[in-house]
Protein backbone atom coordinates (compact mmCIF):
# COMPACT_ATOMS: atom_id res chain seq x y z
CA UNK A 1 0.00 0.00 0.00
CA UNK A 2 1.11 3.54 -0.73
CA UNK A 3 1.56 5.94 2.21
CA UNK A 4 -1.82 7.69 1.77
CA UNK A 5 -3.76 4.53 0.95
CA UNK A 6 -6.32 3.12 3.35
CA UNK A 7 -8.46 -0.03 3.44
CA UNK A 8 -12.23 -0.22 3.89
CA UNK A 9 -13.12 -2.30 6.95
CA UNK A 10 -16.08 -3.87 5.13
CA UNK A 11 -15.08 -4.69 1.56
CA UNK A 12 -11.28 -4.48 2.08
CA UNK A 13 -10.92 -2.17 -0.94
CA UNK A 14 -7.69 -0.13 -0.95
CA UNK A 15 -7.78 3.46 -2.18
CA UNK A 16 -6.57 6.93 -1.25
CA UNK A 17 -7.80 8.12 2.14
CA UNK A 18 -9.79 11.00 0.60
CA UNK A 19 -12.16 8.44 -0.94
CA UNK A 20 -13.24 6.95 2.41
CA UNK A 21 -15.22 8.09 5.43
CA UNK A 22 -13.03 8.29 8.53
CA UNK A 23 -14.38 7.23 11.91
CA UNK A 24 -12.16 7.98 14.92
CA UNK A 25 -11.94 6.76 18.50
CA UNK A 26 -10.53 9.87 20.13
CA UNK A 27 -7.70 9.47 22.62
CA UNK A 28 -7.91 9.54 25.68
CA UNK A 29 -11.69 9.98 26.04
CA UNK A 30 -12.46 6.87 23.93
CA UNK A 31 -15.42 8.64 22.32
CA UNK A 32 -16.17 7.79 18.70
CA UNK A 33 -16.74 10.56 16.17
CA UNK A 34 -16.70 11.22 12.44
CA UNK A 35 -13.82 12.73 10.45
CA UNK A 36 -11.81 14.70 12.98
CA UNK A 37 -9.58 13.93 15.90
CA UNK A 38 -6.45 12.07 16.81
CA UNK A 39 -6.62 8.45 17.78
CA UNK A 40 -7.46 5.03 16.37
CA UNK A 41 -9.18 5.35 12.97
CA UNK A 42 -11.26 3.11 10.76
CA UNK A 43 -12.12 3.79 7.13
CA UNK A 44 -15.33 2.93 5.32
CA UNK A 45 -16.38 3.18 1.67
CA UNK A 46 -19.24 5.63 1.07
CA UNK A 47 -21.61 2.86 -0.08
CA UNK A 48 -24.74 1.32 1.39
CA UNK A 49 -23.35 -2.23 1.12
CA UNK A 50 -20.24 -1.40 3.15
CA UNK A 51 -22.22 0.58 5.70
CA UNK A 52 -24.80 -2.21 6.14
CA UNK A 53 -22.07 -4.82 6.64
CA UNK A 54 -20.16 -2.62 9.07
CA UNK A 55 -23.29 -2.03 11.14
CA UNK A 56 -24.62 -5.58 11.03
CA UNK A 57 -21.30 -7.24 11.89
CA UNK A 58 -20.04 -4.51 14.26
CA UNK A 59 -16.93 -4.01 12.15
CA UNK A 60 -16.48 -0.43 13.31
CA UNK A 61 -16.64 -1.44 16.96
CA UNK A 62 -14.12 -4.23 16.51
CA UNK A 63 -11.78 -2.10 14.43
CA UNK A 64 -11.90 0.83 16.85
CA UNK A 65 -11.96 -1.40 19.95
CA UNK A 66 -14.82 0.70 21.30
CA UNK A 67 -18.60 0.79 21.40
CA UNK A 68 -19.95 2.74 18.44
CA UNK A 69 -23.09 4.74 19.32
CA UNK A 70 -26.13 4.61 17.04
CA UNK A 71 -25.73 8.33 16.36
CA UNK A 72 -22.56 7.57 14.38
CA UNK A 73 -24.43 5.14 12.14
CA UNK A 74 -27.31 7.60 11.77
CA UNK A 75 -24.85 10.29 10.70
CA UNK A 76 -23.27 7.96 8.15
CA UNK A 77 -26.68 6.98 6.71
CA UNK A 78 -27.62 10.68 6.43
CA UNK A 79 -24.31 11.43 4.75
CA UNK A 80 -24.89 8.56 2.32
CA UNK A 81 -28.40 9.74 1.40
CA UNK A 82 -27.12 13.32 0.99
CA UNK A 83 -24.25 12.18 -1.26
CA UNK A 84 -26.60 10.02 -3.33
CA UNK A 85 -29.08 12.89 -3.76
CA UNK A 86 -26.31 15.31 -4.76
CA UNK A 87 -24.93 12.79 -7.22
CA UNK A 88 -28.33 12.22 -8.86
CA UNK A 89 -28.88 15.99 -9.17
CA UNK A 90 -25.52 16.45 -10.90
CA UNK A 91 -26.37 13.59 -13.27
CA UNK A 92 -29.72 15.21 -14.13
CA UNK A 93 -27.95 18.45 -15.08
CA UNK A 94 -25.32 16.85 -17.27
CA UNK A 95 -25.45 17.60 -21.03
CA UNK A 96 -25.82 13.89 -21.80
CA UNK A 97 -28.98 13.63 -19.70
CA UNK A 98 -30.67 16.42 -21.68
CA UNK A 99 -30.19 14.88 -25.12
| 88, burial (CB in 10 Å: exposed 0-12, middle 13-18, buried 19+) | exposed
Distance of alpha carbon 37 from its chain centroid, rounded? 15
Q: Please tell me the pTM assigned to this model.
A: 0.81
- What's the pLDDT score for residue 20? 95
Per-residue pLDDT of the chain (99 residues; tens, 9 = 90+): 778 899 999 999 999 999 999 999 998 888 999 988 899 999 999 999 999 999 999 999 999 999 999 999 999 999 998 877 766 666 666 555 544
Sorted by where each starts, the structural domains of the chain and their CATH numbers stand as: 5-89 (3.30.1230.10)
Amino acid sequence: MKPNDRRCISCRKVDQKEYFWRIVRVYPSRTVQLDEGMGRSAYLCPSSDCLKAAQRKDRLGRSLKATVPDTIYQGLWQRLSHDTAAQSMSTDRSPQARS
